[in-house]
Amino acid sequence: MNTLKLSRQTGRRAERHNVHGIVLLDKPLGYSSNDALHRTKRILNAKKAGHTGTLDPLATGLLPLCFGEATKFSNTLLNSDKTYEATIRFGITRVGGDLEGEVLQERPIKHSHAELASILRKFTGAIMQIPPMHSALKKEGVALYELARKGIEIPRAARPVVVHSLELLEDTDFTVTHPDTVVLKACVSKGTYIRTLAEDIGEALGCGAHLTALRRIAVGELRIEEAISLQALLEHPNPGECLQAVDTLVRHLPCVQLKEADAQRVLHGQRLAWSGPEQGLVRLHQGEQFLGLAHIEARRLQPSRLINLD
């Protein structure tokens, strides 16, 4: 897999506990999202866990993991924008669009820095993208990557995605020392495949391209600077201290403070009359205590997903 040291041993399987909160994990190279989740769950001895969307084994970076009552909010990030740092090598195309695949074609690199910048502008904004065969999308219940491993390729319809921004982080200017590689910072909408974006940029430049590295640095308002590595979590004397609040994934939502009597009504699933300014989906709090989510419309506050930390 890689050189990550995971050696915490016990004589027998530890008892699972009710653990509630979020771990913002800096996923290591070579781990699938499920691998990372199961490792973290084992470290925390947690009963219930889930992730908020997959990150390829060949990618590193931010992977929010949910435990206990926080799993109720795991789907809130599915539609969030994602930001990546993508290392792209021009001149070579590979099966699957990354370093794992066999070389398909090698072509000379003839474009200038100005031409690259111009092409990047053309790939910024709303674009159509054909999903890769090496993806988790399914055809008749079978993941496309499983078909791809068997050498089967099927037609895929182009999908609309949004590339909010593309920024060159390493201005190589195609010098003698770095003639073929750039690093892009890409902020994209849900459903955007960075490897496909790299391949399409390479084709637009006439030389082809593939990903050599990919790192996710943001999911919605969550940032990689908040994350902890799997190794640091393993070595922490009290891993539970690394858990962030249950409402971490929904902290961008407006907060509604309830008085004790109204909080008790909400916790029993009752609606409340509402005359405040907030509308739509909101967080509910009684003081510092997070209670869950509610929908506000037509002057009514309707409880949605409530938590139970007992």
Options 26, 35, 56, 98, the catalytic residue: 56
Phi, psi of 64 (to 5 degrees): -70, 130
Other beta carbons less than 10 A from residue 196's beta carbon:
18
Q: How far apart are CA 272 and CA 282, in angstroms?
A: 14
What DSSP string runs through 178-231? SSSEEEEEEEE-TT--HHHHHHHHHHHHTS-EEEEEEEEEEETTEEGGG-EEHH
Q: What angle do CA 81, 82, 84 make, to 5 degrees?
A: 150
What is the rounded end-to-end Cα distance, in angstroms, of the chain? 38
Q: Is 26 a catalytic residue?
A: no
* Spatial CA neighbour of 2 closest among 25, 32, 24, 23: 32
Q: Which residues are catalytic?
A: 56
